[in-house]
Amino acid sequence: MERLDLLGFLLITFNCNVTIVGKIWLIFAILLRMVVLLSAGAPVYQDEQERFVCNTLQPGCANVCYDAFSPVSQLRFWLLQSLAALLPSALFCAYVLHRGAALAARGLGLGGRDAGGPRDLPVPDLSRGYVVHLSLRVLTEAAFGASHYLLFGLAVPARVPCAQPPCSGVVDCYVSRPTEKALLALLMGAASALSLLLNCEDAPRAPDLGCAVRRPRGPGASRHGGLWPGGALPRVVSGGAPASPRPCPS
């Protein structure tokens, strides 16, 4: 049987404890959300307060009206939402690497004393951790979606009436680039809805990870994880090459 080095074992551990929908979500969250925000959102919102003008010369009126119109910068809110949605996945990846590295180190240490070489290493079953991190992602998306609706609504108006003191009566304030901001708001709202949909689609698949990484039964089993389908166990040795095990079901 071909043997696995440490990196290969960690990659296989990650691959067998994340569904195909979860991998698609990671690509979507990094490419669509972060790249769009940094490349398209930053130029649109870089002058949002300077170009928010009101038809009055009353000192402080424009600042007060802008604060009433946008209590929190939409760009910063979206960046915080994207980072908060990625945080559970980052914690789960760190947990997978920690468990996999600890198991590999233990196997290498015991294998050095065995005449037959390194000890067979079972791939750990981390499906419970995956379900927990998926639940956190769903709660995060739902909380930020509700907060965005309460703070900003669903549209970006071109003209905003304002009667906040110290303004003298009702004044009209004008938002810079309202069409671009409205389109970007729709795009980010659609991205948030798609993220929530992917998470809900991933939820029924998460318990099936136990089919790919099963609890050990029979010879060669370990209490630290599960077995490959068919009972094959990957090995970890220094300088080895990744094997080609049977793929985990999505």
Q: Which two tokens stand for residue 74?
A: 């939409």
Residue 139 pLDDT:
93
Residues 5, 242 contacting (CB under 8 angstroms) = yes
For the stretch 199-221, pLDDT in tens is: 888 877 766 665 544 444 444 44
Question: Is there a cis peptide before residue 166, judged by omega within 30 degrees of 0?
Answer: yes
Residue 78 pLDDT:
92
Residue 154 pLDDT:
80
Residue 243 pLDDT:
43
Q: What SS3 state is found at 190? A: helix
Give the helix/strand (H/E) hosting 162. strand 159-162
Q: What SS3 state is found at 171? A: strand
Whole-angstrom distance, CA of residue 5 vs CA of residue 50: 56
Whole-angstrom distance, CA of residue 5 vs CA of residue 236: 5
Residue 142 pLDDT:
92
**Region of residue 13 (phi > 0: left; psi between -120 and 50: alpha; otherwise: beta):** alpha
Residue 205 pLDDT:
72
Phi and psi dihedrals of 151, rounded to 5?
-85, -40
Of 125, 99, 85, 95, nearest in space to 214 by CA: 125
Residue 144 pLDDT:
93
Distances (CA, A) of 145 to 139, 181, 196: 10, 17, 10
pLDDT in tens, the chain (250 residues): 344 567 777 777 777 778 888 888 888 888 878 888 888 888 888 878 888 888 888 888 888 998 888 888 889 999 999 999 999 989 988 888 888 778 777 765 555 444 443 445 677 777 788 888 889 999 999 999 999 988 888 888 889 898 888 888 889 999 888 888 889 988 888 888 888 898 888 877 766 665 544 444 444 444 444 444 434 444 444 344 444 444 454 4
